[in-house]
Amino acid sequence: MSAASKDTALRTGVIARALIYSILLVFAVFYLLPLFVMLVNSLKTLDEIRQGNMLAFPEVFTFEPWIQAWGEAQIGVEPTGLKPYFINSLVMVVPAVIISTLLGAINGYVLTKWQFRGHRVVFGLMLFSCFIPFQIVLIPMARILGILDLAGTTSGLVLVHVVYGLGFTTLFFRNYYDAFPTELIRAATIDGAGFFRIFRRILLPSSGPIIVVTVIWQFTNVWNDFLFGASFADFDSQPMTVALNNLVSSSTGVKEYNVHFAGAILAALPTLIVYVVSGRYFVRGLMAGAVKG
Amino acid sequence: MLIATLFSSDPLSFVSGKAKPLCQWRLKLLFENAVTMIERLQTYLPRLVLSPSFVLILLFVYGFIAFTGYLSVSDSRMLPSLGFVGLENYEKLFSLRHWSIALKNLAIFGILYIVICTVIGLGLAILLDMKIRGEGVLRPIYLYPMALSFIVTGTAWKWFLDPGIGLENVMHLWGWESFSFNWIKSREMAIYTVVLAAVWQSSGFVMAMFLAGLRGIDNEILKAAQIDGASNWQLYRRIVIPMLRPAFLSAFVVLAHLAIKAYDLVIALTNGGPGRATELPATFMYSYSFTRNQMGIGASSAVIMLMMIASIIIPYLYSELREKKT
């Protein structure tokens, strides 16, 4: 995205420009609306939501829904709030991201700088694995996790996320290392540097940006996953997304919209923070995931 | 030699424990063997390093696909079972009303989702590319939904579209008494609320893809066309949009495969309801495999989903990897 095209000499009049700005603003409102609704209503009492206007600011601010969502709300059978699930998600995400990123880096290194016969096929097979509908692996995965005695555990989920994240992490690093000058590697080999030394001393130090992109991508994907969490986890390992869904869709008792909204924001917070702090890398990851090859 | 750096310690050390009775020439032979072994290792090391990942993928992706493929022609019900029944499950699958509803919903959802996301994404990208003040503020606003979980998106829209407390109620309070918007509760219209929420989540991302494409277009071409007297409209229709072909293709592939995989959003937004009105293949597969004890049928629906995605992804990946080669 260079700034070179800033001087597109399109002829636009004042009215056209006003129209353009208003369209852009309308869409900004459209995208912000659900976030606004969640935020505003998570600070209202339940009565105020039921009787009042969903788009209005709270008349009485209350943090009670947040406290409830975090520590008291009934999820499943236990009134634990979302806190234990938040911790489950964290405990799952951190190792899954680290392992899949490391493996992706070393895979990308092999696939670009130590190419062997059939490396294209290997990469193709890994790449296709990014796109499979996970429904196709659910049944055997449940069996294997049972056999490995990992059913319902966080370790099991970490394994699942590492395996199905490998395709993407490998893709990211492969594309990045592809542009890295091979002459440097060759020179290092002649100087006697081995496989791992070249990786550690030459490639890794210049991999900062792609590591950030990969970590953000993996973090977002694993944190936001619902299908695997819903299929393979039990109470001790259930991630945030599953707990939030249980909270919102539980059919018993009063629907506490304000608590649901507070819970939704809690579930969204980690990825939102990552996005706000490093949006540039986030977008780059999305693009790298989209524009293949 | 490379071994020196690979093993800085004496390469013989690992045999030294057993080396006592060996005479000089045997020791030498052993040393040579060790050297060739390490050299071999050096050539095989990259493959060795890659192999755990590759084995994982082979096993957990392709092995599992084969396994599910077999289950789809087996008599599995509550648990996997290996009795072969031929294509019976597929025949049953396509005679099920639930499945035809799921396919019809996928068609509606997929087409609208892809078309609307592309139109909004392209439109916003073109507008944002017109030297807009505040682009730096607008772009992140358009894109942030992509960072959210579909469960969060579903929750937000579920209550916002709820006639009792959401948009309809707001309009009533604002004095538009006759306003009615109960799509989420209606069998006919509920699938369109899924489209709405999904478009909300992904269109900003499509915008970013097109914006990147637009920024990559050489301005000289546009200027030349303008000098030739092309209007803005012609400029975009004849030059810019055709040049965005790769972005269109990428957007299509990404959106199509997201549509076929769509699961979380439906669960959070409508849970497949009202009734079965928003059932999609992904939710169908889950309920048949795990709650209705029809694993064979569930597996066959998963195979159909894989085939749909493969028919889009494989030609795309093939052409992408091909281009790279030349």
- Rounded to whole angstroms, the Cα distance separating A247 from A243 reads 6
Can you point out the beta strands (E) in chain B?
Answer: none
One domain, residues B16 and B62: yes
Cα separations in angstroms, A89 against A82, A94, A270: 11, 9, 10
Bridge partners of residue A233, in order along the sequence: A152
Asked which of B71, B86, B102 is the last residue of a domain, the reply is B71
Mutant choice from B155, B235, B290 vs A, greatest count of A C-beta within 10 A: B155
pTM, whole model, 2 decimals? 0.85
Structural domains present in chain A? 12-62 (no CATH), 83-288 (1.10.3720.10)
**Is the predicted pLDDT of residue B323 greater than 50, yes or no?**
yes
Residues of chain A contacting B261 with CB distance shorter than 8 Å: 133-134
B49 with B186, same domain?
A: no
Q: Using CB atoms, which residue from B149, B173, B212 is nearest to A226?
A: B149
Residues whose CB is less than 8 angstroms from the CB of residue A266 and which lie 6 or more positions away in sequence, other chains included: A66, A69, A70, A82, A86, A240, A244
Query: CB distance from A18 to chain B under 8 Å?
Result: no
pLDDT band for position A189 (cuts 50, 70, 90):
confident
Judged by CB atoms closer than 8 Å, whether chains meet at B130 and A12 is answered as yes
Mean pLDDT value across chain B: 84
Residue B85 belongs to some domain of the structure? no
Spatial distance between the Cα atoms of B309 and B43, rounded to a whole number of angstroms? 37
pLDDT (mean) for B167-183:
83
Convert the pLDDT of each residue in A242-264 to its tens digit: 999 988 887 677 788 888 999 99
CA separation, residue B248 to residues A1, A127, B118, B214, B243 (Å): 17, 20, 8, 12, 10
Task: List the 234-263 stretch of A: residues with Cβ below 8 A of B.
Answer: 241, 244-245, 248-249, 257, 260-261, 263
Shared domain for B229 and B307, answered yes or no, is yes
**For residue B1, pLDDT beyond 60:** no
Q: What average pLDDT does the segment A43-65 reach?
A: 85
Write down the pLDDT at residue B247: 87
| Residue A266 to residue B63: CA distance in whole angstroms | 37
**Is B80 within the bounds of a domain?**
no
> B311-315 contacts: CB < 8 A, separation 24 or more?
B312/B253, B312/B256, B312/B257, B313/A128, B313/A131, B313/B253, B313/B257, B314/A128
Is there a contact between A24 and B138 (Cβ–Cβ < 8 Å)?
yes
Its domain, for residue B183, covers 94-323
What residues in B contact A34, CB-CB < 8 Å?
145, 153, 156-157, 160, 200
Query: Do B281 and B316 fall into the same domain?
Result: yes
| Cα nearest neighbour of B204 on chain A | A31
Tens digits of per-residue pLDDT, A64-98? 889 888 988 888 777 888 899 999 999 999 999 99
Is the per-residue pLDDT at A50 higher than 90? no
Going by pLDDT thresholds of 50, 70 and 90, the confidence category of residue B8 is very low
Nearest to B173 among A53, A167, A268 (CB): A53
CATH of the domain at B290: 1.10.3720.10
Q: Is the same domain home to B33 and B166?
A: no
Evaluate whether A240 touches A267 at the Cβ level (below 8 Å).
Answer: yes
Average pLDDT over residues B304-309: 93
Taking an 8 Å cut-off on Cβ atoms, the answer to whether B57 and A194 are in contact is no
> Average pLDDT in the A226-237 region?
89
The CA R_g of chain B, rounded to the nearest whole Å, is 29
pLDDT of residue A251: 65
d(Cα A147, Cα A156) in Å, to the nearest integer? Answer: 11
What band does A2 get if pLDDT is binned at 50, 70 and 90? Answer: very low
- Examine the domain organization and report whether B241 and B278 are in the same domain: yes
Chain B partners within 8 Å of A186 (Cβ): none
Would you say how long chain A is, in residues?
293
Contact check, Cβ <8 Å, B68/A137: yes
User: How many domains does one find in chain B?
Assistant: 2
- B80-98 pLDDT per residue, tens: 778 888 888 898 899 999 9
Share of chain A above pLDDT 90, in %: 38
Q: Are residues B131 and B167 in the same domain?
A: yes
pLDDT at position A157, please? Answer: 94
Compute the average pLDDT of residues A36-53.
87
Q: How does residue A23 score in pLDDT terms, banded at 50, 70 and 90?
A: very high
Nearest neighbour of A271 by CB, restricted to B47, B130, B148:
B148
Whether residue B21 is predicted with pLDDT greater than 70 in this model: the reply is no
CB within 8 Å: A31 and B120: no
Q: Is the per-residue pLDDT at B22 higher than 70?
A: no
Q: Is the pLDDT of residue B9 over 70?
A: no
Nearest-CB residue to A24 (from B127, B150, B267) = B127
> CB contact, 8 Å: A102 with chain B?
no
Cα–Cα nearest to A289, from B256, B251, B94: B251
Average pLDDT over residues B190-196: 93
Q: Give yes or no for a contact between B117 and B196, defined as CB atoms under 8 angstroms apart.
A: no
pLDDT at A99 over 90: yes
- What mean pLDDT, rounded, does chain A reach? 86
* pLDDT per position as a tens digit, B276-300: 889 999 999 999 988 888 889 999 9
Q: In the predicted model, is pLDDT for residue B101 greater than 60?
A: yes
* pLDDT of B201 strictly over 90: yes
Report the candidate in B234, B222, B199, B208 with the shortest Cα–Cα distance to residue B125: B208
In 3D, which of A190, A167, A164 has the Cα closest to residue A108?
Answer: A167
Across the range B70-85, mean pLDDT stands at 84
CB contact under 8 A, B68 and A136: yes
- Residue among B305, B287, B295 at smallest CA distance from B75: B295
pLDDT at B5: 30
Yes or no, beta carbons of B60 and A290 under 8 Å apart: no
User: Between chains, do A291 and B142 touch, taking CB under 8 Å as contact?
Assistant: no
pLDDT for B115 beyond 60 = yes
In a domain, B81, yes or no: no
pLDDT cut 90: percent of chain B above it: 34
Single-letter amino acid, residue A51: Q
Indicate if the pLDDT at residue B202 is higher than 80: yes
B259: nearest CA in chain A? A133
For A196, residues 6+ apart whose C-beta sits below 8 A from its C-beta are none
Q: Indicate whether B199 and B287 sit together in one domain.
A: yes
pLDDT tens track for B224-235: 888 888 787 888
Distance in angstroms (rounded) separating the CA atoms of residues B296 and B75? 6
Q: Please determine, for residue A6, whether its predicted confidence score (pLDDT) is greater than 60.
A: no
In the structure encoding, which two tokens stand for residue A176, read together?
A: 């990045």
Q: Is the pLDDT of residue B11 over 60?
A: no
Mean pLDDT (whole number) for B236-241: 86
* Residues ≥6 apart with Cβ < 8 Å to A5: B129, B214, B215, B217, B219
Token pair listed for B21: 């009775």
B58 and B128 fall within a common domain: no
Locate tokens 């030294």: which residue? B16
Spatial CA neighbour of B2 closest among B48, B42, B29, B33:
B42
Is the Cβ–Cβ distance between B204 and B142 less than 8 Å? yes
Stretch B52-62: mean pLDDT, rounded? 93
Partner B contacted by A103 (CB < 8 A) = yes
Q: How confident is the model at residue B156 (pLDDT cuts 50, 70, 90)?
A: very high
Distances (CA, A) of B41 to B1, B3, B10, B14: 13, 10, 16, 16
pLDDT at B234: 84
Percent of chain B scoring above 70 in pLDDT: 91
The verdict on residue B135 lying in a domain is yes
Residue B83 lies in a domain: no
A36 has pLDDT over 90: yes
Tokens of A119: 């490396």
Q: Summarize pLDDT for A106-133 with one digit per residue, the tens.
A: 999 999 888 888 888 898 899 889 889 9
A8, A139, A194 member nearest B68 (Cβ): A139
Amino acid residing at B51: S
**E strands, B173-296, where?**
none
Judgement on whether residues B299 and B183 belong to the same structural domain of the protein: yes
β-bridge partners, B84:
B74
Q: What is the dihedral of CA B20, B22, B23, B28, to 10 degrees?
A: -110
Mean pLDDT of B119-138: 89
What chain A residue is nearest to B67 in terms of C-alpha separation?
A140
- Based on the fold, state whether residues B16 and B108 are members of the same structural domain: no
Q: Which residues of A touch B209 (CB under 8 A)?
A: 287, 290-291
A167 pLDDT more than 70: yes
Place of tokens 């951190």: A94
Whole-number pLDDT of residue B74: 86
Model ipTM?
0.88
Comparing CA positions, the residue from B293, B299, B263 lying closest to residue B67 is B299
Q: Following CA atoms A62, A67, A70, A73 in sequence, which dihedral angle do they give, to the nearest 10 degrees?
A: -100
Chain A residues closer than 8 Å to B219 by CB: 4-5, 7-8
Q: Residue B325: what pLDDT? A: 52
**Who wins on pLDDT, B17 or B115?**
B115
pLDDT band at B55 (very low <50, low <70, confident <90, very high): very high
Give the helix/strand (H/E) hosting B247: helix B245-261
Q: What's the rounded Cα separation, in Å, for the pair B12 and B325?
A: 44
Side-chain-side CA neighbours of residue A199 (13 Å): 20
Measured distance CA(B138)–CA(A24) in Å, rounded: 8
Give the pair of three-digit tokens for residue B273. 């309801």
Burial class, A98, CB count within 10 angstroms (exposed 0-12 / middle 13-18 / buried 19+): middle
Asked whether residue B208 is assigned to any structural domain, the reply reads yes
Residue B161 forms part of a structural domain:
yes
| B108: confidence class by pLDDT, cuts 50, 70, 90 | very high
Confidence of residue A5 (pLDDT cuts 50, 70, 90): very low
* Size of the A and B interface in Cβ pairs below 8 Å: 303
Q: Whose CA is closest to A230, among A257, A254, A249, A251?
A: A249
- For B183, the token pair is 């799509």
Give me the mean pLDDT over the B162-176 stretch: 83
Say whether both B111 and B163 belong to one domain.
yes
Mean pLDDT of B202-219: 88
In a domain, B79, yes or no: no
pLDDT at residue A10, as a whole number: 58
